[in-house]
Chains A and B, each alone.
Chain A
Amino acid sequence: MKRRTFLSTVAVAPVIAAPVLAQPTPVQQPPAPTPAAPTAPSAPPLQQQPPAAVEVVRLEPVGHDAAGEMVPHFFTAVEMATLTRLSAVLQPALNGRPGAIEADVPAFLDFLIGQSPAERQAIYRKGLAGLEQQAQSQFKKAFAAIEAPQVETLMAPLRQPWTFIPPTDPIARVLREAKADVRTATTNSREFNAGGAAAGGGRRAGGMGQYVYTLE
C-alpha cells in the first residue's frame, strides 16, 4: 500500500509539470529559394530558437519507510522475540496513540544497536539473554511467551530509582536502557506523530526541530 502510494505520486509528477513561461511560437519565415530540385525528400529545417524557460517542478520523494519494511539483521531470532515483547510491555498503544509495536520499534532498535559501539551492543545482548534465561529458569517458557504477571516479576529492577551511575546487573541495565530507547523511538516515530495528531494533539511527540545541515 505504501509502495503503491509512492509510485502513484511519482507517476503523477510529470503530468503536473506544465510550462508556464513558454516562449511564443516564432513566426514562420518563407522558405529560402532552393537552387535545384532535390533528388529525395529532405527533413524540414531545424529551427534555431532559444530553449523555452520551463518551471522546474519540485519532486517530492518520500522516506524509505514508504517503500519497504525494515529487515532486522543484528539481533538473533530469540533476542528479537525478547526485545519485541519487552517493547510491547514498555510502550503499549495507549489512548489512541500507537505503541512500540505499531511504530516498528524492535526493528528500528535492531538497526540502531547494530550500528552502535560494542559496549552498547553488549548491554542489549547480555540483558536480553538474561531476561530469556530468567524466563526459562523461573517459568519454563520463553520471555516472549510468559504471562503478564511473570513479566512484571522479571522487570522488577525498573521499580528501583534511576541513578546517574547505571546498574551493573545485565537485566537491570538493559531494562533501564530499553525503557528510554523504546519510549524515544516510539514517540519520535512517524506512526506516533500521525497517531498523536489523530488522537487530538501532539503532546509528548518528538515534533519538529531546527536541523543543522552539513557545514562545509
Chain B
Amino acid sequence: MAEQPYDVLIIGSGASGGMAAHILTSKGANVLVLEAGIGMEPRHRGLKPVYDLPYRGFGKPGRLSHVLQANEFNANQWVDEQQVPYTYAPDARYNWVRARLIGGKSNFWARMSYRLSDFEFGGKDHDGFGDNWPIRHADLAPFYDRVEPIFRVSGRKEGVASLPDGQFLDDTSPDPGAAVTFAAAGKKHGMTLTKIRRSLGDGQLASSANLLLPKAQATGKMTLVTNAVVRELTVDKATGKVDGAHFADTRSGRELHATAKAVVLGASCLESTRILLNSKIANSSGVLGRYLHDQFYIGDAVVASVPEARGGKAPRGLVGGSGYIPRFRNVAKGEKQKFLRGYAFDIYTGGTPDAKYIPAWGAELDEKLNGYRGSAFSTTVMGEVLPRYENHVTLDPKVVDAWGIPVLRFNAKYTDNEKLMAQDAIDTIVEACTESGFEVLHRNAIPHPPGYSIHELGTCRMGDDPKTSVLNKWNQSHDVKNLFVVDGSSFVTGGSQNPTMTILSLSMRASEYLAEQMRTGDI
C-alpha cells in the first residue's frame, strides 16, 4: 500500500531532481522521487578490450544516430531512440541526447562548473535583445556558494566580469606554457586565460547519485521509485492545483497514480516540458515549449601544433594541461560586434593531432604523426544561442513512445547570429595561434546541429510577466502554484557557460522556497 499523499512528488533524479530531494528532505518534507530509469551499479560496468566488442568499437550502425557522443563502450547508457523516439522538421535536425537512470546525465557530464554572470541574467540591459532573467547573479550567488562545496569545484579566482568567481578548491597548478603564449597573443581582443573549473565530486563521480540522493535517503524522508515513466500530471479540479501524476512501470507496463501536495519537475529540460504539454497545464502564456536554446558546439574548432613540443620533446610545462577562455566579446562598454552576445572556448594542449587532419596515409602518415606527437593544441568553442520564440518543441500528433506517450517534435535552427559568432571565434583563434608561432592544421566554423552540446535550455522559461513566461522567479508555475520546474527548461538565456552549476543552484533556491511556502501553509 503506497504511503500517500506525499508532501512533494519529484520527477527525475538527476542534478535538479536530486538537489530538490536533498533540500526538501532536509527541511522535513516527505518526498517521492520517480525516476524513469534504473540505478547504475558496479555490475553494469566492466573493463573490456575493444577487440572483444562485436563492432570493434564502431558500435552497431544506426542504433544511436543522434548521439554523436556514443561509442560501443557506452552505447547502452543512452536512451533507446526506438523506444523513446522524437521527431523534427525535415530541415531542422536536432540531436537530443538522453540518459535514463538514477542521477541522469549527472553521471556522465563533463563536470565543467561555471556561473552565469549578469551579462546573461541581464542580457537585454546590455544589447536590447530578448528578455532579462527575473533574477541577477546576486540573487543566485548564495546558492552557488553552497552548491560548489557540495560538488567540490576546483578553480582559481580570476576576477573576470563575465565569469563570476566562486567557492573553489584552489587550483594552483601552473598554466601550460603554450596556453599562456596563446592568451597573450589574444589579449588585444580581451582574452583572459583561466583555469577550467571542474567538479571533483568524491574523486570518482560528481553526480546526483553520489552527492545528493544519499543525503536525501539518509533522512528517511525519501521514497525513490525507478522504472517509473510519468505520463502526465493530474489536477484537482476543485482547486486547480496539481495533486499527483500518472506513471507507468516500464518493466510491466502497469499504470499507477501517485498523490502529492506539490510537484517538482526535474526530469531534464525537455522531458519536463513534454510532461507539461502532455498534461495540458501551466501554459496560459502560450510560451511553453518556446525559446528553446542551447550552446552551439564546435569540437576541434582549431587544431594546431606547437613546434617546440614536436616528437614528444616538449620542454617541461609547455604542454600537457588545459585552460578556459571565458566570453570576451560584447563585454566592453560600447563594444559592437557583428553579432550579439559571445562565446567561450576550452584549450587542450599536448597529445597527437587526429590522423584525419594529416593529409597523408600509410607509412607517410605514421611518420608525420610521430613528428607531431605531443604537440597538439586544440580548442572547443561553445557560443550563446539567442533564445528565440520561433525555436520550439511541440507534441508530435502521430508518434508515441513505447508506453503510448506522445513524443516531442523539434523545430529549432541556428541563425546568422550564431554563424557570425562561430566564424569570429575561429578567425580569432587562428590569428592568435599564428601569432604564437603554432602551425594551424585544421579549422572549422560550422557547429554541430542544435542539441549536440547536451545543454538544451528554455521552453519553460521564468519571468515576472505571466503573459510571457511559464514560471516566476522561484521556478514556480504562474498558473499552478504548487508546481515547480527546477531544471534547465527554466532558463531565459544560457550564455556560453556550461549550465549545470546554475541548474543546481536554481533547484536549491526553488526547493527552499517551496519548503518555506509549505511550512507557512501558503502551499
Query: With A92-B362, A162-B442, A179-B361 known to touch, is A215 a contact of B101 (CB < 8 Å)?
Result: yes
Give B361 Cβ to nearest chain A Cβ, in Å. 5
Report yes or no: A209 in contact with B73, Cβ–Cβ below 8 A. yes
Contacts of A180 in B (CB 8 A): 355-356
Give A124 Cβ to nearest chain B Cβ, in Å. 12
Query: With A163-B444, A179-B361 known to touch, is A216 a contact of B227 (CB < 8 Å)?
Result: yes
Report yes or no: A184 in contact with B57, Cβ–Cβ below 8 A. yes
Query: With A90-B362, A180-B356, A183-B355 known to touch, is A211 a contact of B56 (CB < 8 Å)?
Result: no
Query: With A117-B61, A120-B61, A180-B356 known to touch, is A211 a contact of B361 (CB < 8 Å)?
Result: no
Report yes or no: B76 in contact with A216, Cβ–Cβ below 8 A. no
Report yes or no: A164 in contact with B48, Cβ–Cβ below 8 A. no
Q: Whole-angstrom distance between the alpha carbons of A179 and B77 in the complex?
A: 29
Is B224 interfacial (CB 8 A cutoff)? Answer: no
Q: Which of A26-34, A42-50, A139-147, A152-160 contacts B (4 or more CB under 8 A)?
A: A152-160
Query: With A120-B61, A215-B40, A215-B76 known to touch, is A209 a contact of B359 (CB < 8 Å)?
Result: no
Query: With A184-B58, A211-B45, A215-B101 known to touch, is A159 a contact of B359 (CB < 8 Å)?
Result: yes
Contacts of A120 in B (CB 8 A): 61
Report yes or no: B444 in contact with A209, Cβ–Cβ below 8 A. no
Report yes or no: B56 in contact with A108, Cβ–Cβ below 8 A. yes
Is B92 interfacial (CB 8 A cutoff)? Answer: no
Contacts of B55 in A (CB 8 A): 112
* Chain A interface residue count, Cβ-Cβ cutoff 8 angstroms: 45
Give A165 Cβ to nearest chain B Cβ, in Å. 7
Contacts of B44 in A (CB 8 A): 212-213, 215
Give A79 Cβ to nearest chain B Cβ, in Å. 18
Contacts of A211 in B (CB 8 A): 45-48, 53, 73
Is A210 interfacial (CB 8 A cutoff)? Answer: yes
Report yes or no: B45 in contact with A210, Cβ–Cβ below 8 A. yes
Q: Whole-angstrom distance between the alpha carbons of A133 and B37 in the complex?
A: 52
Give B372 Cβ to nearest chain A Cβ, in Å. 13
Give B313 Cβ to nearest chain A Cβ, in Å. 16
A80-108 to B contact mask, C-beta < 8 Å, 1/0: 00000000011110110000000000001
Contacts of B61 in A (CB 8 A): 112, 115-117, 120
Query: With A63-B52, A160-B359 known to touch, is A94 a contact of B45 (CB < 8 Å)?
Result: no
Is B184 interfacial (CB 8 A cutoff)? Answer: no
Contacts of B360 in A (CB 8 A): 158-159
Is A137 interfacial (CB 8 A cutoff)? Answer: no
Give B378 Cβ to nearest chain A Cβ, in Å. 14
Neighbour of B60 across the interface among A115, A163, A165, A176, CB < 8 A = A115
Q: Whole-angstrom distance between the alpha carbons of A28 and B74 in the complex?
A: 59
Q: Whole-angstrom distance between the alpha carbons of A112 and B356 in the complex?
A: 20
Contacts of A209 in B (CB 8 A): 47-50, 57, 71, 73
Most A Cβ at <10 Å: residue of B38, B56, B251, B362: B56
Closest to B354 in A: A162
Give B343 Cβ to nearest chain A Cβ, in Å. 17
Report yes or no: A185 in contact with B76, Cβ–Cβ below 8 A. no
Query: With A115-B61, A208-B48, A211-B73 known to touch, is A91 a contact of B53 (CB < 8 Å)?
Result: no
Neighbour of B356 across the interface among A91, A92, A179, A210, CB < 8 A = A179
Closest to B352 in A: A204
Q: Whole-angstrom distance between the alpha carbons of A115 and B63 in the complex?
A: 11
Query: With A120-B61, A164-B444, A164-B446 known to touch, is A158 a contact of B361 (CB < 8 Å)?
Result: yes
Give A195 Cβ to nearest chain B Cβ, in Å. 11
Query: With A112-B58, A115-B60, A189-B56 known to touch, is A158 a contact of B51 (CB < 8 Å)?
Result: no
Is A214 interfacial (CB 8 A cutoff)? Answer: yes
Contacts of A185 in B (CB 8 A): 56, 58
Which of B336-375 touch A at CB < 8 Å? Answer: 355-357, 359-363, 366
Report yes or no: B361 in contact with A161, Cβ–Cβ below 8 A. no
Neighbour of B49 across the interface among A116, A164, A193, CB < 8 A = A193
Report yes or no: A161 in contact with B58, Cβ–Cβ below 8 A. no
Give A37 Cβ to nearest chain B Cβ, in Å. 62
Is B316 interfacial (CB 8 A cutoff)? Answer: no
Contacts of A158 in B (CB 8 A): 359-361
Which of A166-216 touch B at CB < 8 Å? Answer: 176, 179-181, 183-185, 188-190, 192-193, 206-216
Contacts of A155 in B (CB 8 A): 361
Is B62 interfacial (CB 8 A cutoff)? Answer: yes
Using a CB–CB cutoff of 8 Å, the interface residues on chain A facing chain B are 63, 89-92, 94-95, 108, 112, 115-117, 120, 155, 158-165, 176, 179-181, 183-185, 188-190, 192-193, 206-216
Nearest 4 Cβ contacts at the A-B interface: A206-B50, A116-B61, A190-B51, A209-B73
Using a CB–CB cutoff of 8 Å, the interface residues on chain B facing chain A are 37-38, 40, 43-53, 55-58, 60-62, 65, 71, 73-77, 101, 227, 251, 355-357, 359-363, 366, 442, 444, 446
Q: Can you identify 12 A-B contacts, CB atoms within 8 angstroms?
A: A89-B361, A117-B61, A117-B65, A158-B360, A159-B359, A161-B442, A162-B356, A163-B444, A185-B58, A188-B56, A209-B73, A213-B44
Known pairs A161-B359, A183-B355. 15 more at Cβ < 8 A?
A: A94-B363, A112-B58, A115-B62, A159-B359, A163-B444, A190-B49, A190-B51, A193-B51, A208-B50, A210-B73, A212-B73, A212-B75, A213-B46, A215-B40, A215-B76
